[in-house]
Every structure is written in C-alpha cells, then in structure tokens.
Amino acid sequence: MIALRSSVSKARRAFSLVELVVVVLIIGILAAVAAPKMFDTSTKAKESATKASLSIVRNAIELYNAENGTYPASSATLPAALANYIKGPFPKSPYANNTDTIKQGTASGGTEAWVYDPATGNFWVNTGNFSNW
C-alpha cells in the first residue's frame, strides 16, 4: 500500500521578523538600563581605595597616640611620624590634584589631598563631598 500524503502541511518552525525585532528591542532596553550600573566601577573603586587609606592612616594615628601619649605634632611631619605604623609609602588621595599633601586644620578646602587636626587626631579627605567619612 502506498501511504497518501496529508494535505495539511507541517507548521514552519522559525521566528518571524517581527518576533526577532521585539526580542532585540527588549535586550536593548535591558542593556540601556543595566549598563550605567555596570560601568560605574571606577567611582566605586576610588571610594573604596580612599576609605581604605583613611582607615589605615587613622589606625596609625591611634597607634602613635597610644605609644607616645599625644598625636603627631603637625601635618608636615605626619608621614614621617607614622612611617613605623604604615607599611609602604603614605597613601595618596585619588580626589585631589596634590595627592600627597596634607592640610593642617579643621576645615576642608584648598588643593591638599588630606586634612589633619593635630589637636584631636582627626584625619579626613580634603573635599566637601567626602569629609564625613
């Protein structure tokens, strides 16, 4: 016996052009929303590095105070005074033009990277945006 072919053709198993365009548009929208969050890593890296530097220097200042009974005398001598408490060079700030200078006082502002108050031992970033770290 010969089998007769059915007059119903098989359904096509492919995507239409409209379906492909819709999928590409959805992927594009998702990429546009996610890309800024994924590519903001340099800002987060700067913040993390600065916070780590602050922690290291603040710990060194407290160790100096514990051993000597007083905080280092001035911002000019701070790196030398803390040399025994910090491994490697004194940290630089990524947020200032003069990355290795230290302002003495209690207020932010100027071109120095850091601010140090010898009366209280406070040490912070010399910019208004991050002075509360």
User: Is 25 within a domain?
Assistant: no
Q: Is residue 114 part of a domain?
A: yes
What integer pLDDT is reported at residue 27 of this predicted model?
A: 94
Note the pLDDT of residue 80.
Answer: 93
Mind listing the pLDDT tens digit for each residue in 60-102?
Answer: 999 999 999 999 999 889 999 999 999 989 998 877 766 678 8
Residue 118 forms part of a structural domain: yes
- Please state the domain count of the chain: 1
Paired sense of beta strands 98-104 and 122-125, if any: unpaired
- pLDDT classification of 106: cutoffs 50, 70, 90: confident
17 in a structural domain: no
Specify whether the backbone of 105 is left (phi greater than 0), alpha (psi in -120 to 50) or beta.
left
- State the pLDDT confidence band at 131, using cuts at 50, 70 and 90: low
Domain holding 62, by residue range, is 51-85+97-130
Of 94 and 50, the structure prediction assigns the larger pLDDT to 50
Q: Give percent of the chain above pLDDT 70.
A: 84
State pLDDT tens for residues 22-48: 999 999 999 888 887 777 788 888 888
Among left, alpha and beta (phi > 0; psi -120 to 50; other), residue 121 is left
Q: Residues 118-128: what's their mean pLDDT?
A: 86
Flag whether pLDDT at 50 surpasses 80. Answer: yes
Q: Is residue 7 part of a domain?
A: no
**69 lies in some domain:** yes
Tell if the pTM clears 0.95, that is, is over it: no
CA distance 19 to 25: 10
- Establish if 58 belongs to a structural domain: yes
Confirm whether 121 is domain-assigned.
yes
